[in-house]
Amino acid sequence: MAIYRNDQIVFTFGTEAAQGGDPEMAEGTLVGSGGTGALTADTAAGSRTISIDGHSGATFVVGDFIRIGTVAGTAKATLHEHEIRRIEAMQDAGDNSTNTFTLDRPLGFNHDENSEVKEVSAIGSDDEGDNFDDDTVRNDKSKYIAWIPGVFETIDTPDPQMSFEGRRFLGTQSKRNWSVAYPGQQSLSGSVSGIILLNGWPLRFPIGSIVTTPQATSGDITVHADPTATDHLAKKGDVYIALQGTNITNIVAGDWIVIDAGDPNKSEVRQCLIENSNVFRLNYPLQFTHDDNAAVSEVTNPTTNYYTHVIKEKIELDTMSWNVHMRDSSETSTNDFNRRYVGGMVDSSTISAEEGGMLTMSWDGVQFLNMFHNQENQTTLSTGLYSSDSTTSGMPRYALTQAIDLNDVNWFSQTAATGSATLSYDVANSGTSYPTSEPYYFSEGTIKFFGQEFARIRSFSLSISNSIEPRYYIGRQGARMRGPYETKEGPREYSMSCSVALPDTVGPDSTAQTGATELFKQLLLEGDYEGSTDRTGITATLKFERGTNDYIIIDIPNHTGTAGSPTSTSGINKQGMFINTAPHSISTDNPYQIDLDMMFRSILITIRDYQPFYP
């Protein structure tokens, strides 16, 4: 008998352009004589409703799966993002020509006015007779929830936690027992612990955004999203962009480009997988919105030069989607058990290392909005949740999503064929894109306090808390979906603890910061070095280096200069780290060991490696 095994599971994640909008472009098998229409207005990623007109064919009904976004067209003159969602509610404008649909989850992409809306019954060929690559190939190259955070063994999946409330009616036979139980609100929280970092991919989500700068570039041109539209922005979440400029012919499919190079807040690198005239499809959705005429440069020697990634604090955190793919021990794909979790915001996280070990990270708590799966029916369901819809599925939260298996992991970091002037998908999902880099070892790390390296750090643990609060509003959701409508960031808190074996002794009148009593002095000074209440705090740097131009630097507080040189000044919004506790207790440890507990207000992480782009 076949069973599900943990070593068969593929866990991946991807970045959302808007909370709850899992990013996946999938074409669907059209329903014969099914409903069709078009969007009445530009609709942004994150929208939970769409309005359509121009109905033809059968009438849309609640429960239908629809593809939003234009796909058809033998010429492929323009390229568009597209995705599949389910209709959970409908509101007719009264003239039977315009309908507003409530979707099962927010949109993952931006869609232009007049984009097609068509009824589908499955993920597969769109049956529209184009003469380009097979639709299943395009579907396979449109899975963006395909990153892995590192090496890990267990996952606490954020399946819905149900809450039932027993209610008592007066005068019934229940007496002191409750009479009836009603389902209440649902919560979805998950975690991934003990992630061994092979790169910095998971680091930014509890902190903010990541800005990437390549070592060398050439050939500036400009960018806009659509040469025929009045709004030429390349928006966050876009996969297709249009390039213009005198050097446009220098960019061909397979090239790596940097958009807004040199901008400290939104420089990012992507690969052009396909091109059609001056419209390019990128290997991964954009993280930032870029202005019309933003500078674009070609990355020089993209596979051999290094990249610098800077993780900066952000008020509003980006959210992510998780995907769990389970295939049984007999490798029977028809028995796949797939789950997708959307709207994940990291509530708490830990970065840690100890002597003899490796640098690890944990997503200790991630709050989600919803989950979906591929389990269509159950034997006790005599009727489904919907009637006359485009599928026969009866289970709550059933959705049309693709299986993301081991062959899909990090596929978008592979090298595409170059020089293709027509629409093609040359990147092969070969399963060879698991990270091959070495971990970051504790023995390769250093910690500096107030500029002085402490060689006898035995362990450290850096904690981040975002005080995420789920919000439950009045508003329509999907059938039997009573999860949060959104989650919001609260006060951010940083703390760090570490164990330090004290350095060599010095005399009590020594002013050197290298002595065994320096930590005791710092505890008493309370970060006040001016003899007043205008405290500055101390600075700290954690560096893990694997080789030349291959390292992670964590600066506390957020520095204003070179990475590895944090600066702490006095006054509001400028202070550094403060020691809460440093008991110099007598134990059996030799040399004398102190356990520190500290708090700080800001952080900045700088990564240099050979990964062209980050999620």
| d(C-alpha 240, C-alpha 105), whole Å | 22
* 95 found inside a domain: yes
- Give the type of residue at 540: A
426 vs 601 pLDDT, higher one: 601
* 346 found inside a domain: no
Closest by Cα among 523, 494, 543 to 595: 523
pLDDT in tens, 195-234: 999 999 999 999 999 999 999 988 777 766 554 554 567 8
Q: Which residues pair with 274 in a beta bridge?
A: 281
Same domain, 37 and 134: yes
Question: CA 289, 292, 293, 299: dihedral to nearest 10 degrees?
Answer: 30
pLDDT in tens, 145-194: 999 999 998 999 999 998 888 888 887 888 888 888 888 888 899 999 99
- Residue 192 tokens, joined: 């991934």
Same domain, 129 and 222: no
* 451 found inside a domain: no
- Of 305, 329, 346, which residue is a domain's last? 305
Closest by Cα among 305, 363, 359 to 544: 359
pLDDT in tens, 13-60: 999 999 999 999 988 888 888 888 999 999 999 999 999 987 655 678
Closest by Cα among 416, 424, 445 to 545: 445
Q: Please state the domain count of the chain.
A: 2
- Residue 30 tokens, joined: 């059209």
Q: Which domain holds residue 38?
A: 25-140
| d(C-alpha 497, C-alpha 418), whole Å | 49
Q: Which helix (H) or strand (E) holds 541?
A: strand 540-547
Largest CA distance in the chain: 90
* 521 found inside a domain: no
* 610 found inside a domain: no
* 358 found inside a domain: no
* 45 found inside a domain: yes
| d(C-alpha 414, C-alpha 135), whole Å | 21
Q: How far is CA 123 from CA 95, 135, 279, 601, in A?
A: 32, 10, 26, 47
pTM (two decimals): 0.92
CATH number, domain containing residue 260: 2.40.30
| d(C-alpha 393, C-alpha 331), whole Å | 24
Task: Quickly list H helices, 76-150.
Answer: 135-140
pLDDT in tens, 508-521: 888 887 788 888 88
Same domain, 29 and 117: yes
- Of 118, 140, 162, which residue is a domain's last? 140
- Residue 374 tokens, joined: 């591929």
| Spatial contact of 536 and 575, defined as CB atoms under 8 Å apart | yes
- Of 281, 305, 329, which residue is a domain's last? 305
* 243 found inside a domain: yes
